Structure 1
């Protein structure tokens, strides 16, 4: 009789524990609460302006640095539009990135602005800034940060989520 009661009790415990587990709130790979945190994507088209104090060209764009919804431990990534293919596909490259041109070498980088170290300026540059909670990286290891398309897919975002800044 004791064995039967124990088996029934064990069965009920398994059902109660299994019923209380969930896969998260329809989040990224079922991560609880992460999808409630803001994932932001800004796009900016700009000419970089010369900053004589720093001796480099930089964008005056600092909206993402001053955005109160971006936390200190958020991940901030920047991508530069490299080119558009003949099939109208955008090719984005993650910064920092060095480039070698006929005019010499230049390096695109960022902190709270986007800047270029070179002796010449490339005009009409387009950048995308992505900010998201660091918990996403802590809870999953399958996000390829170097591939903008893969990042968008992993974060379950599409082009309508990109906030264009003029």
Structure 2
């Protein structure tokens, strides 16, 4: 009888100890989940393509991933200046002039130019545009609250993006 009680206690103890786990919370990106950056150059937004362009990803992304689209707007101290879409420009009186917007799927992003006089818009805003698509894994989503994604350099630092790993796609 005492052997049965002892065996029963040992069995219960093993089950109890086996169910104990330790959950580690890691700071920063883990080593097997990385953010991706795709760069599309020579993108033309014209009447012939309805001022819209599909940017096909080199591979499908996960449904949980977050996608940010930036447009190269110039240089500042020899550093690229990137603006997060949507991006809107207004006349001095506050009325809409034009802007850029985007949406995405698991296989592409679409950038679109909108406004009232797109054919008359300075070609610098329509032709030879450069866009960067930043794909942030869904595992980082819980750490995105109260973060300013408009600052491309802050995104690069936070998600440890390496300029050497940017996948360049010629359009």
With the length of structure 1 as denominator, give the TM-score of the two structures: 0.68
Listed as ranges, the gaps of 5+ residues in structure 2 are 1-19, 104-108
- Give the whole-Å Cα distance in 2 for the aligned partners of 1:49 and 1:42: 22
> CA RMSD of the aligned region, Å?
2.7
- Say how many residue pairs are matched: 134
Which whole-Å deviations, capped at 9, do the CAs of 1:78-130 have from their partners, x for residues lacking one?
00111112x2111111001112369x711101113111113235211111000
Which residue of structure 2 aligns with residue 71 of structure 1? 62
Task: Pick 1 or 2: higher relative contact order, CA cutoff 8 A, min separation 6.
Answer: 2
1:39 and 2:35 are equivalent in the alignment: yes
SS of aligned partner of 2:153? helix
Q: Choose 1 or 2 for highest CA Rg.
A: 2
Structure 1 stretches of 4+ with a deviation exceeding 6 A read none
With the length of structure 2 as denominator, give the TM-score of the two structures: 0.66
- Give the whole-Å Cα distance in 2 for the aligned partners of 1:35 and 1:91: 29
Listed as ranges, the gaps of 5+ residues in structure 1 are 1-16
Which residue of structure 1 aligns with residue 8 of structure 2? none
Distance 1:47 1:151, change over 3 A: same
- Give the whole-Å Cα distance in 2 for the aligned partners of 1:161 and 1:39: 10
Q: What is the CA distance between 1:43 and its match in structure 2?
A: 0.7
